[in-house]
Amino acid sequence: MSVRKADFGPIPTSPLARMAYSLRRLPVFRSDVLVVGSGVAGLATAVAAADKGAHVMVLCKGRAQETNTYYAQGGIAAAMSRDDDPELHAADTLRLGYGLSDPQVVDLITEAAPEAMDWLLQSGMSFDRNPSGELNLGTEGGHRLPRILHSGGTATGKELQRVLIARARQHKHIDIYENTTAVELLKDAEGSVTGLVALARRGESGGFDPVLFEADSVVFAAGGGGQIFRETTNPQLATADGLAMAIRAGAAVRDLEFVQFHPTILYLAGAARFLISEVVRGEGAVLRDRNGDAFMGDAHPDADLAPRDIVSRAIFRRMVETGDTHVYLDLSAVSEPGKRFPALARIAAEFGFDLEHDSIPVRPAVHYFVGGIAADLQGRTSIDGLYAVGECASTGFHGANRMGSNSLLEGLVHGRLVGERLLDRPRSQRRFLSPYLPEDHRAPAAQLHLADMTYSLKSLMWRQVGIERDAAGLSDARERLDAWAGYLARLGPFTPEGVEVMNMVHVAQAITACASFREESRGAHFRSDFPETRETWQVHTRLEADANHLHLSAQAVLGQMPTMNPPQHNR
C-alpha cells in the first residue's frame, strides 16, 4: 500500500464553545453507569448492569421508544433450527464481512444467539410461529439457511423495544431520562471520562436547560446517523451524536466509510420513506425495472437475495440506465402478501396500491453505519471510562458490511456482555470534571438557517458520498464540509437542533475522509475510480487523536483489539 497515514486536521470545535454557562453552576445527576441511548444495545446494557446491582441512568434524546430499534422491520438472526448451528451462522457473517470481521467476536456473538433468544422469550417477547407452534424462521440476503426470527411479520423492532422498555422501567436500579440530548463528554484531570453535559427539556415550555450527568462508566449506545443523508430509513433523531462526541473527545473510531444502504424503501412523492423489509424478497418478491425486466439475476447468483450492497448498487445502476428515480418491487409471487405483511399493505393501500396486483416503487436508502467507535468485547474504547455498544460501536462483528438481521443480535448480545462487566471496573474516587470556559458569550450578528444547512448537508452526502464515490466528488465534499464546520463553530446555537447539525457535519467530515483514504471497493464502500477489492487494503481505517489533531491510519485486521478472556453468560 502506498499510503498508510493521512492527516485529518484539528479536533472539531465543541458545541460547548457556544454555551453561555459555567459548568460549576449546573445541576449534577450521579450514577454508577450512564447509558446514552434506549435502543436494544442501550437497554440490554442497562438491564444487565442493573441486575448486577449498578445504579443506571439512561438518557433518551426523545421518548424512550424513539430509536432505530423500534423501526427495525427485519428480524433477529439466530441458529434456532435443527438444520442450523452457530458455526454456519458465523461462517455466513464472516463471508459478508469481506475480510474485515474479527472471527473471535463473530464466534462469540453467534454462539450466544440462541441463549439470547431464550432470554427474550422469558422476558415476554412474542415471535411468529407456524401452525405447529414452532418458530417461523425467515431467510434474508447472505444467510444460507432460514434463521431470522420475526414478530408480527415486520414489527420485530417494535416488539423488542416494548419488551426491553418494560424490563427497564420495572427495574428499581434504572432511571430513564427522556427528552435529554447528550452534548459533550467530560474528563477528569487524568483523561478518564467521568460524565457529560446534556440539554434537558424544561417541562412543557419547550425550552432546554444544561445539566451534568456524572458516572463511573459512560456507555454510548446512541445508534447511527442516517439523517446525514437525503434518503434514509432512520428516524429523525438518528444524527450520529455518539460518534461525534467520541471524535471530539479523541476516541478512536474506525471504518466509517462503510455506510450500508437498504435496497428497498417505498419511494413516492410526499410519502415517508417506509422501509420494505428484506423478508419480502425472501418470500418471493422480485425487483423489476420500468420495463418489467427482473435484473438481479444478472447482478449476482443469489439474485434478489444477494447481499445488500450488491442489490443497492444494482438498483442504483438500473435507475441510471433507465433514467428513472426508482425501480419496482413485484409481490405477485408472494402468497397472500396482504396477510403476510399487513403494515406494508396498509401503507401501500393509503397511496392507492394493492399488493396482490401492483408493483411498489422502491429505491435504496442509508440504513446502517457499519463502522463506529472502536470497542472490544467488553465495550471498552481507547478512552478510559468510555464504552460503546450497538450501531455506534465497531466491534469487528460486521466487518465491511452487515448481514441482514445481525444488528439487533449484536446489540442484544454485546449489550448484555458489557453490562455484566461494568461493575468490574474500579470505581473512581476523584471526579474532577475538566473546566470548560466558553470563548464568547455574545450572540453572533449572523444567524444560521439550520433547516437549510441540514438539507444542503443531506443532499451533498447523498450525491458525493453515497452509493458510488470517487476522488473528485469526495474532495469537493470535504472542502464544503470543512467550510461549514468552520462557521458552525462560530455561529451554531447552543440548542438541541444546533448540536445535532454540528454533530452531523463533524461525522460527515469523518466519513468523507475515511472514504477518500480507502482506495478500493469493499463491502458497503464502493469507489468507481477504484472498483476492485485490493488485498493490500484488507485493513481497518482508524481515525484518532494525537494531542489536538486527528490522524487517519490503516491498521491490520487481526490483533487490533486488546487481549482478554471473553465474558461468559451464566446459563
C-alpha cell, 120: 427474550
Distance CA 90, CA 97 (A): 10
Q: Which one-letter DSSP state was computed for residue 252?
A: -
Q: What is the dihedral of CA 525, 106, 60, 18, to 10 degrees?
A: -50
Cell of 391: 450501531
* Alpha-carbon torsion (312, 136, 110, 251), positive or negative: positive
- What is the phi/psi pair of residue 117, to 5°? -65, -40
CA distance 67 to 158: 10
Which one of the listed residues 308, 402, 416, 522 is annotated catalytic? 308
Q: Do 414 and 219 meet the contact criterion of CB atoms below 8 Å apart?
A: no
308 included as an active-site residue: yes
Measured in degrees and rounded to the nearest 5, phi and psi for residue 164 equal: -70, -40
Cell of 389: 455498544
**Residues ≥6 apart with Cβ < 8 Å to 569:** 112, 115, 416, 417, 420
- Compute how many other C-beta atoms are within 10 angstroms of the C-beta atom of residue 260: 26
Class of residue 26 by CB neighbours under 10 A (exposed 0-12, middle 13-18, buried 19+): middle
Of the candidates 143, 158, 402, 95, the one whose C-alpha atom is nearest the C-alpha of residue 282 is: 143
Length of the chain: 571
For residue 292, the SS3 value is: coil
Catalytic residues: 308
